[in-house]
Amino acid sequence: MQTSVPYLTADQEADLRETAKRLVAPGRGILAADEPPETMAQRFAGADIKIENTEEVRRKYRELLFTTEGVQEYISGVIFHHETFQQKSKDGIPFPKLLSDRGIIPGIKTDRGMVPLAGTDGETTTQGLDDLGERCAEYRKGGARFVKWRCALKIGLQTPTYLAMMENANVLARYASISQQNGLVPIVEPEVLYNGDHDLQTCQKVTEQVLAFTYKALSDHHVFLEGTLLKPNMVTSGRSFGARSSPQDTARATVTAFSRTIPPAVPGIVFLSGGQSEAESTLNLNAINTCTAAPKPWALSFSFGRALQASVLKAWQGDDKNIDLAQKQFLVRAKANGLATLGQYDEKEAAAADENSLFVEKNEY
């Protein structure tokens, strides 16, 4: 029998628990704005979008998002990329401070991206552990209160392999432990990718396996679950599968998978949008919150990147005179998803939301 020595004080635990709870307060969720500069090049060159990708344009774009009036009602936290964490508003206010002054909790992505797992069929692990403790301490000093680390697992004939599930679960658990020791709530993200032609049942089974590996590793590493959040995929059929799973089927499969694998001690689950359209992401989140197929002892909210930003980018086009319009779009998406966390999204409104797929074959964060 192994022994475990407490490594967080009661105060540290209370602080982490409180931050996690605030991030998933009813009606609110997270904006993932942590796209690295190279990924912003992709986003700025999407369908009907042509925006120059320079550091100053990225700064302006983030300022537009962070200063949207009223959005704090629906957005509890924002995930930054390192570049944005260092940037300031045009009035010289550091972005982390600008957000905390508005009641929005600043967070930051701390992983250093994915690398191949040699000898596998294109599977990956995620890097960045070596100096993570020091970086966490710096970010906490700079105002961050939570962090994100993304791992991705792909569904194929022979994947995900035992090795990939083990390795990714373990790296997530090491990250979570180091983050908590530095006073930061870890968002644990084991994303099962949307890529592929698998059906809904396959996605459900793989998601259950990946989550089971993840929570075993978090337990082995003595991670304080009450001070964590999970960022998973919704359970859907693959992008290239003939038929789309309906919001009701998606919700049933997602909630069933979660009830089998996620401990009730976890305060909240914040979904990624993973390439679904804006309309689909919101409808699915709403259906998940109204689903009664299995117990749901956690808050079920969002940490969307693409599904909160696609219409904003389209409206903005990099032009100052479109800022108002773009901010209106952001507020509409934030509010829609806020309502979906309560199961109160009016489905008729989905007709006005963008149904264009936001799928990217090789999506990098």
Residue 307 near ligand 13P by CB under 6 A: yes
Q: How far is the CB of 234 from ligand 13P (least distance, A)?
A: 10
**Cβ distance 37 to 58 under 8 Å?**
yes
Cα-atom radius of gyration of the chain, to the nearest Å? Answer: 19
Q: Are 134 and 97 in contact (CB under 8 A)?
A: no
* Minimum separation from the CB atom of position 185 to ligand 13P (A): 15
* Residue nearest to ligand 13P as judged by C-beta position: 305
Query: Which residue's CB is nearer to ligand 13P, number 129 or number 293?
Result: 129
Cα separation, 265 vs 271, whole angstroms: 18
Q: Please report, as residue ranges, which positions from 315 to 334 form the binding site for ligand 13P (by CB under 6 A).
A: none
Cα(245)–Cα(113) distance, integer angstroms: 30
Q: How far apart are the first and last CA of the chain?
A: 39
Report if residue 258 touches ligand 13P, rule: CB under 6 A: no
Residue 304 interacts with ligand 13P (CB under 6 A): yes or no: yes
- Kindly state the smallest distance separating residue 292's Cβ from ligand 13P, in Å: 26
Active-site hit among 189, 191, 208, 278: 189
**For ligand 13P, which residue of 16, 274, 277, 287 counts as binding (CB under 6 A)?**
274
Q: Which is nearer to ligand 13P, 8 or 78 (CB)?
A: 78
What are residue 329's phi and psi, to 5 degrees? -60, -40
Which CB atom, from 68 or from 281, has the smaller least distance to ligand 13P? 281
Residue 189 lies near ligand 13P (rule: CB under 6 A): yes
Q: Does 283 bind ligand 13P (CB under 6 A)?
A: no
**Contacting ligand 13P within 13-72 (CB under 6 A):** 32
In the range 148-187, which residues lie near ligand 13P by CB under 6 A?
Answer: 150
| Helical residues (DSSP H) of 182-297, grouped into ranges | 200-220, 247-261, 278-290
Question: Which CB atom, from 8 or from 61, has the smaller least distance to ligand 13P?
Answer: 61
Subset of residues 115 to 154 that bind ligand 13P, contact rule: CB under 6 A:
150
Identify whether 321 is a catalytic site residue. no
CB of 231: closest distance to ligand 13P in angstroms? 7
Q: Minimal distance in Å, beta carbon 113 to ligand 13P?
A: 11
Residue from 109, 148, 231, 314 carrying the catalytic annotation: 231
Q: Return d(Cα 48, Cα 341) in angstroms, integer.
A: 30
Taking the complex as a whole, the smallest distance from the CB of residue 351 to ligand 13P amounts, in Å, to: 22
Beta strands in the chain (DSSP E): 29-33, 75-80, 105-109, 114-116, 124-126, 146-153, 185-192, 229-230, 268-271, 299-304
Which one among 95, 305, 340, 353 touches ligand 13P, defined by CB under 6 A? 305
DSSP state of 352: G
Tell me whether residue 97 is one of the annotated catalytic residues.
no
Distances, alpha carbon 306 to alpha carbons 23, 330, 351, in Å: 19, 11, 18
Question: Which listed residue (60, 145, 154, 306) binds ligand 13P by CB under 6 A?
Answer: 306
Rounded-to-10 torsion of CA 207, 193, 316, 330? 0
Given the structure tokens 């940037």, which residue do they identify?
87
C-alpha torsion angle, residues 275, 279, 282, 288 (rounded to 10) = -90
Which residues sit at the interface with ligand 13P, rule CB under 6 A? 32, 150, 189, 272-274, 303-307, 365
Catalytic sites, residue numbers: 189, 231
